[in-house]
Each structure stands twice: as C-alpha cells, then as structure tokens.
Amino acid sequence: MKTVLVLYYSRFGHTARIARRIWETVIAEGNQADLMCVMEADREGVDWNKYDLVIAGCPVIYGKFSRQFVGFVNKYKAVLDAKANSFFCSSVVARTPAKATPEGNVYCRKFLANNPWKPKDAKCFAGKVDYPNWSWYDVKAIQMIMKMTKGPTDPTAVIDYTDWAQVEEYARHCLELTA
C-alpha cells in the first residue's frame, strides 16, 4: 500500500476533476491518498514525510502553465525529486493523438525541458471546451485558437475530450513508480 499526494492547479475546474479521478482511483486500488490544490498546499503546508508518491498536474492555458503551479513544484523540487513522482497536464490541444503525449505536446515538452523540476514520469490528457462557462475574453481567445487548429468554435459547445479510462489507467501506472 502506498500513501499518495495528488496535487493540482485548476483554473476552470476540469484539471481538478482529472485530479479527483486520479485520487479516487488510487484509493479504489487500496492505497491512502490526499488531494490538494497547490494554493492550499502552499498556504497550509504539506507533511511530505507521509507520502511515497506525488502526482502533480496543471492545465495548459494559452500555451503556459500557472505561475503558482510552476513556483510550487520548483520550491519543493528537492522533496519531489526524492520521491516517486509524476506530472500530468491537460490541454484541449491534446485532443489529437499526435499531441496527446509528452513528446508530441509542445507545451508539455517545453515544461519538461525548461523547468528546474524534472518529473520522473509525465502524461498529457485532452481537456475540455466549455464555452458557456468561460468569460467573454476566454471564449474569444479560445475560439481564435480553435479556428487556427480546426477545433470547435460554436459558443454553445461543451465538449469533454478527456479519456476517463486513460486517467484511471494513468493513476494505476503511477502506483508502480518508484523513487
């Protein structure tokens, strides 16, 4: 049995949902797990000694990862490096198979190459288009990106591209990682 910390940053809630599914799967597999957003972990602290494995995730928003997330994983780089760990990202760009891998996803690839924290494992998940719940600015910006990438632009569209079975498979895969 492992003790796992699932950390995440989520702007619109979808990455939180992915993190929650990972957390639920880890528990369903007979392990102990905690689920925390990075802001909570940063403000309240983390008892790193109680975890064997850390799974940390963040969405790609306009080609970038949250400063809070990047700052947090780099602040605790030494602690993360000493444990089994994995990084996951969610991105609507990953809706195509060629961009759904760490090697094929330019944003994930840049994070892994340029960030001080070097996770031992990485995964990309396709995200969600949720125009009705986004701000006017976000809708227009994402529609422009979607127009360029031949994605959905209908302002009423809600499309979840996430393969939830793949999320559960990833959680089980992470349980096999070692420090």
Asked if residue 142 and residue 152 are part of one domain, the reply reads yes
- Output the pLDDT for position 131: 95
Asked if residue 168 and residue 157 are part of one domain, the reply reads no
**pLDDT tens digits, the chain, 179 residues: what are they?**
899 999 999 999 999 999 999 999 999 999 999 999 999 999 999 999 999 999 999 999 888 999 999 999 999 999 999 999 999 999 988 998 889 999 999 999 999 999 999 999 999 999 999 999 999 999 999 899 889 888 899 999 999 999 999 999 999 999 999 87
Asked if residue 135 and residue 100 are part of one domain, the reply reads no
For residue 106, being part of any structural domain is answered with yes
Asked if residue 89 and residue 10 are part of one domain, the reply reads yes
Contacts of 148 (CB under 8 A, 6+ apart): none
Asked if residue 149 and residue 93 are part of one domain, the reply reads no
Asked if residue 106 and residue 63 are part of one domain, the reply reads yes
- Output the pLDDT for position 93: 87
- Output the pLDDT for position 178: 86
Q: Is the dihedral of CA 163, 15, 31, 177 positive or negative?
A: positive
C-alpha–C-alpha distance, residues 117 and 125, integer Å:
20
- Output the pLDDT for position 161: 94
Asked if residue 108 and residue 51 are part of one domain, the reply reads yes
CATH number, domain of 12, equals: 3.40.50.360
Asked if residue 132 and residue 75 are part of one domain, the reply reads no
Asked if residue 51 and residue 31 are part of one domain, the reply reads yes
Asked if residue 112 and residue 143 are part of one domain, the reply reads no
Contacts of 3 (CB under 8 A, 6+ apart): 31, 32, 33, 50, 51, 52, 53
For residue 179, being part of any structural domain is answered with no
Asked if residue 90 and residue 52 are part of one domain, the reply reads yes
For residue 154, being part of any structural domain is answered with yes
For residue 75, being part of any structural domain is answered with yes
For residue 143, being part of any structural domain is answered with yes
CB of 26 within 8 A of CB of 54? no
Asked if residue 123 and residue 41 are part of one domain, the reply reads yes
Domain range spanning residue 150? 128-161
For residue 74, being part of any structural domain is answered with yes
- Output the pLDDT for position 179: 76
Q: How many domains does the structure of the chain reveal?
A: 2
